[in-house]
Chain A
């Protein structure tokens, strides 16, 4: 392949102080980013992959070259969110894996305006950006992003305040159920009985003692126009929810379930499979709230036993030992799933093209639905 400017190994220090020159450089990089599926017309020569990358039929808000682990569910989730939300969008980011792996200075994987400040204030920054946009008379939508640590625990106050003040912001929580960036410590989102470095399985306990915080209900209780959960295993559903949240005026919230191969202890190739089983077992229900009321659920056609989900992950490995507590905890998790299924009435009555089996059906030319 021919070497393009992108691949040349040259370094220089940007000493430009002229704002106009910087803007021009930016424009050069961004030119014609929303290309068509057709490769540029050019006779005789083959196109390089780098050129085709610029002519994909979907907007790429999160570009390749980021430093996420192999099979990262959060990278996939963020890619899908940015793809559906962009390009007219500004993102803020709480501290966490996503912030770290997408912005190794002096590079950025983002192709939309993106800002990081602290662990706790992604929502507050977004609220400020939104107010500024409003002041400038611009309709650019603002998305605040955070992991489960930055959302369930550390940034919760800022998030609650942003929702309460009714800012026109979509908050996306990439929920991988522990503090992965700092080495897999338990968070308010870690499910019951999962082992983390701060809730290890051993003689005293079978992993985390407490339950996963029902954040979505807390968010919905803010009486906001739209709050939903989504999964990387159901990209069509996820994209629809992002677009819905983007078009609603006022604060909206999305909780995206993103498996973490490293933290959960599963093969990098089964990320989507694990995410799908979380939905199909009832452990991670896909629901939509409007003004605090359940407005829609993805029905489960044939709820699977939770062990199908648990046995793929080392963080639940201790639940398959001979210890009698292991059996008890497995039953406990099954009871939690059953409770969720009952609470949201997830059990589908008949086969539905939008249920847990039908929503990912493919056909030639793309996904159905």
Chain B
């Protein structure tokens, strides 16, 4: 009540009777953007969200945040090329956050502490769904379907689940006890695993379609792409994947004096390193991609885990970037080398990117063996009708739904437009969401519509440069085929690293808006702030000056016209 005092005095705090909010022409509002790390993650992880929980010293909640999208953080923390770190806004300030280290730590900590997946499979007997292929995509789909209460049967041709994680990733990059423990924990959620069951041989797709309400196919790619140079192939022709799988399973490798690998992925790089360690003196990698560096466009960089590339160079692998093999050199029927030529990926007349070789840049490289590592297609056995003679399934939607075959979904490498474990895990999750919608006859799930926040929105005044933690790496001389090369980090180092996060586009609870408001129009509260921040705007008094928006370190406050 407005009290007119008799004398020259006023009661304390009575100015609140006057609502200065009427002066406002634009209002501050919280805007939860997608952090660049989140947008860049093929698996769909929101690194900003779980790093915030690590900052709050809630590692278990952080792990639970990850495993609501990715059940295998200790795997991806080790082997993913972490595009999140390439996108990290901190990279434009000093160095990107070591997101992979935090992810790996949380995954390992979950195993050490025996944290159980936040899954309640007791939601009754849901419909039965079959998943074919127990690689990362299949495991992810099975896990996400199980989370939604479905009865899941997971088929694989091999006796154990894991797919390429088990058959082709070197043990020194992914220790098998880590993989085994995580897979056991996932299957332990009530997923029925049927190993040694090959589609088209032991079980047929029509049977599955009649026995199960829906089907998720993630067979991967097992059939090497046809490779020849102008029609010529070496007499001892073996593909890199074949050799790598043999080495992982049996530990044996051919050891010529010198070898040339042709390709630019992790398979090629892993085999290079294994052969070098096995005693091959000269290992060359010929790749059409470029090496990371100032002059290389991001989509032209060789698609391998960056620290693996550094380690490979340390170990003495010679890399020939922006080169391709134009001709094989034979002495009699034996390959003795190749003719390389420089090339670039450039836009062509049709508008698409093409590989242009440059005449006059030919060079010879001698070697005893040439191994292609140019990728694989889907092995069509069991799928030939679905594939219709094509190399991949190529569904036209992110959920992997095959329009011509209702109830059948595809994900992972078999899609034909994927290439990482994380992408496969993302496919599994999206397919599970779509299968759920299909079985419930609901609408297609909506995709995350949040815009990605860019570097310009971060107020750098409020952050200090700080060095990035680096995991301990075994010296070259001590590296073997079995011991893990990248060591673990301590909890203290992880906490320190997490503290570097800019919290892009989300509330940091730093108090800046509350501290800097000249009008006391920011109220600190956890009771009312339902958007996950710790503050609400009191629009009765907010004059709309915009100081809070300018001084928010994270770009979380935006001014919108009234």
Chain A residues proximal to chain B, CB less than 8 Å: 5-15, 25-26, 29-30, 37, 39, 46-47, 49-50, 52-53, 56-57, 60, 62-73, 75-76, 79-80, 102-112, 232, 235, 261, 267-273, 276, 351, 353, 357-358, 360-367
User: Is A108 within 8 A of B538, CB to CB?
Assistant: no
User: Is B1 within 8 A of A14, CB to CB?
Assistant: no
User: Is A276 within 8 A of B461, CB to CB?
Assistant: yes
Q: Across the interface, which residues of A come within 8 angstroms of B525, CB to CB?
A: 39, 47, 52
| CA A37 to CA B362, docked complex, whole Å | 73
Q: Is B520 an interface residue (CB 8 A)?
A: yes
User: Is A37 within 8 A of B12, CB to CB?
Assistant: no
User: Is A75 within 8 A of B519, CB to CB?
Assistant: yes
Q: Across the interface, which residues of A come within 8 angstroms of B509, CB to CB?
A: 364-366
Q: Return B21 CB to nearest CB of chain A, in Å.
A: 9
A13-B4, A363-B499 in contact; A65/B541 too (CB < 8 A)? yes
Q: Return A90 CB to nearest CB of chain B, in Å.
A: 12
Q: Is B30 an interface residue (CB 8 A)?
A: no
- What are 16 contact pairs spanning A and B, CB under 8 A? A8-B1, A10-B2, A13-B3, A15-B6, A39-B525, A65-B19, A65-B541, A66-B519, A67-B18, A69-B543, A72-B545, A105-B10, A108-B13, A362-B512, A362-B553, A364-B55
User: Is B14 within 8 A of A267, CB to CB?
Assistant: no
Q: Which 3 interchain pairs have the tightest Cβ spacing? A: A269-B546, A65-B15, A71-B545
Interface bits B210-241 vs A (CB < 8 Å: 1, else 0): 00000000000000000000000000000000
Select which of A79, A272, A360 is within 8 A of B520 by beta carbon: A79
| CA A232 to CA B516, docked complex, whole Å | 8
Q: Which residue of A lies closest to B515 (CB)?
A: A235
Instruction: Give 16 new A-B contacts, CB below 8 A, not counting A47-B527, A72-B545, A80-B515.
Output: A14-B5, A47-B528, A52-B528, A53-B538, A56-B524, A63-B15, A65-B15, A65-B16, A75-B519, A110-B12, A112-B12, A235-B515, A235-B516, A268-B547, A269-B559, A367-B512
Select which of A6, A268, A351, A362 is within 8 A of B16 by beta carbon: A6
| CA A75 to CA B1, docked complex, whole Å | 25
Q: Which residue of A lies closest to B553 (CB)?
A: A362
Q: Is B115 an interface residue (CB 8 A)?
A: no
Q: Return B444 CB to nearest CB of chain A, in Å.
A: 35
Select which of A107, A273, A365 is within 8 A of B17 by beta carbon: A107
Select which of B1, B52, B463, B549 is within 8 A of A269 by beta carbon: B549
A357-B464, A365-B509 in contact; A26/B11 too (CB < 8 A)? yes
Select which of B3, B13, B18 is within 8 A of A12 by beta carbon: B3
Q: Across the interface, which residues of A come within 8 angstroms of B102, CB to CB?
A: none
| CA A285 to CA B297, docked complex, whole Å | 44
User: Is B10 within 8 A of A71, CB to CB?
Assistant: no
User: Is B541 within 8 A of A360, CB to CB?
Assistant: no
Q: Across the interface, which residues of A come within 8 angstroms of B461, CB to CB?
A: 276, 357, 360
The CB with the most chain A CB atoms within 10 A, among B11, B463, B547, is that of B547
User: Is A108 within 8 A of B16, CB to CB?
Assistant: no
| CA A110 to CA B12, docked complex, whole Å | 5
Q: Is B510 an interface residue (CB 8 A)?
A: yes
Q: Return A66 CB to nearest CB of chain B, in Å.
A: 5
User: Is B520 within 8 A of A60, CB to CB?
Assistant: yes
Q: Is B74 an interface residue (CB 8 A)?
A: no
Q: Is B330 an interface residue (CB 8 A)?
A: no
Select which of A11, A65, A351 is within 8 A of B18 by beta carbon: A65
Interface bits B36-78 vs A (CB < 8 Å: 1, else 0): 0000000000000000100110000000000000000000000
Q: Across the interface, which residues of A come within 8 angstroms of B3, CB to CB?
A: 12-14, 106
| CA A234 to CA B160, docked complex, whole Å | 60
Q: Is B93 an interface residue (CB 8 A)?
A: no
User: Is B518 within 8 A of A108, CB to CB?
Assistant: no
Interface bits B500-517 vs A (CB < 8 Å: 1, else 0): 000100001111100111
User: Is A364 within 8 A of B541, CB to CB?
Assistant: no
Q: Is B317 an interface residue (CB 8 A)?
A: no
User: Is A57 within 8 A of B524, CB to CB?
Assistant: yes
Q: Across the interface, which residues of B come within 8 angstroms of A106, CB to CB?
A: 2-5, 10, 14
Q: Return A23 CB to nearest CB of chain B, in Å.
A: 11
User: Is B543 within 8 A of A361, CB to CB?
Assistant: no
| CA A111 to CA B12, docked complex, whole Å | 5
Select which of B12, B503, B540 is within 8 A of A26 by beta carbon: B12
User: Is B538 within 8 A of A104, CB to CB?
Assistant: no
Select which of B12, B20, B520 is within 8 A of A67 by beta carbon: B20
| CA A151 to CA B512, docked complex, whole Å | 30
| CA A365 to CA B254, docked complex, whole Å | 58
Select which of A75, A76, A267, A362 is within 8 A of B462 by beta carbon: A362
Q: Across the interface, which residues of B come within 8 angstroms of A47, CB to CB?
A: 525, 527-528
User: Is B462 within 8 A of A361, CB to CB?
Assistant: yes
User: Is B12 within 8 A of A53, CB to CB?
Assistant: no
Q: Across the interface, which residues of A come within 8 angstroms of B23, CB to CB?
A: 70
Q: Is B326 an interface residue (CB 8 A)?
A: no
Q: Return A131 CB to nearest CB of chain B, in Å.
A: 21
Q: Return A130 CB to nearest CB of chain B, in Å.
A: 20
User: Is B20 within 8 A of A11, CB to CB?
Assistant: no
User: Is B546 within 8 A of A268, CB to CB?
Assistant: yes
Q: Is B332 an interface residue (CB 8 A)?
A: no
Q: Across the interface, which residues of A come within 8 angstroms of B528, CB to CB?
A: 46-47, 49, 52
A70-B545, A360-B462 in contact; A108/B527 too (CB < 8 A)? no
Interface bits B548-562 vs A (CB < 8 Å: 1, else 0): 011101000001000
Q: Across the interface, which residues of A come within 8 angstroms of B18, CB to CB?
A: 65, 67, 104, 107
Q: Across the interface, which residues of A come within 8 angstroms of B462, CB to CB?
A: 360-362
Q: Is B521 an interface residue (CB 8 A)?
A: yes
Q: Return A299 CB to nearest CB of chain B, in Å.
A: 14
Q: Return B556 CB to nearest CB of chain A, in Å.
A: 12
Q: Which residue of B lies closest to A1 (CB)?
A: B540
User: Is B546 within 8 A of A64, CB to CB?
Assistant: no
Q: Return B541 CB to nearest CB of chain A, in Å.
A: 4
User: Is A64 within 8 A of B520, CB to CB?
Assistant: yes
| CA A49 to CA B540, docked complex, whole Å | 10
Select which of A25, A68, A111, A268 is within 8 A of B13 by beta carbon: A111
Q: Which residue of B lies closest to A37 (CB)?
A: B524
Q: Across the interface, which residues of A come within 8 angstroms of B547, CB to CB?
A: 71, 76, 268-269, 271-272
User: Is B13 within 8 A of A110, CB to CB?
Assistant: yes
Q: Which residue of B lies closest to A270 (CB)?
A: B550
Q: Which residue of A lies closest to B554 (CB)?
A: A362
Q: Across the interface, which residues of A come within 8 angstroms of B520, CB to CB?
A: 53, 60, 62-64, 79
| CA A276 to CA B547, docked complex, whole Å | 13
A64-B20, A107-B15, A357-B464 in contact; A366/B523 too (CB < 8 A)? no
Q: Return A50 CB to nearest CB of chain B, in Å.
A: 8
User: Is A367 within 8 A of B510, CB to CB?
Assistant: yes
Q: Across the interface, which residues of A come within 8 angstroms of B411, CB to CB?
A: none
Q: Which residue of B lies closest to A280 (CB)?
A: B461
Q: Across the interface, which residues of B come within 8 angstroms of A56, CB to CB?
A: 523-524
Q: Is B8 an interface residue (CB 8 A)?
A: yes
The CB with the most chain A CB atoms within 10 A, among B19, B56, B528, is that of B528
User: Is B15 within 8 A of A102, CB to CB?
Assistant: yes
Q: Is B83 an interface residue (CB 8 A)?
A: no
Select which of B13, B463, B518, B524 is within 8 A of A63 by beta carbon: B13
Q: Return B11 CB to nearest CB of chain A, in Å.
A: 6
A49-B536, A73-B518, A361-B463 in contact; A108/B2 too (CB < 8 A)? no
Select which of B55, B512, B543 is within 8 A of A70 by beta carbon: B543
Q: Return A308 CB to nearest CB of chain B, in Å.
A: 12
Q: Return A42 CB to nearest CB of chain B, in Å.
A: 10
| CA A27 to CA B524, docked complex, whole Å | 25
User: Is B4 within 8 A of A11, CB to CB?
Assistant: yes
Q: Return B218 CB to nearest CB of chain A, in Å.
A: 38
| CA A364 to CA B56, docked complex, whole Å | 8
Q: Return A13 CB to nearest CB of chain B, in Å.
A: 5
A37-B524, A360-B462, A363-B510 in contact; A71/B16 too (CB < 8 A)? no
Q: Return A92 CB to nearest CB of chain B, in Å.
A: 14
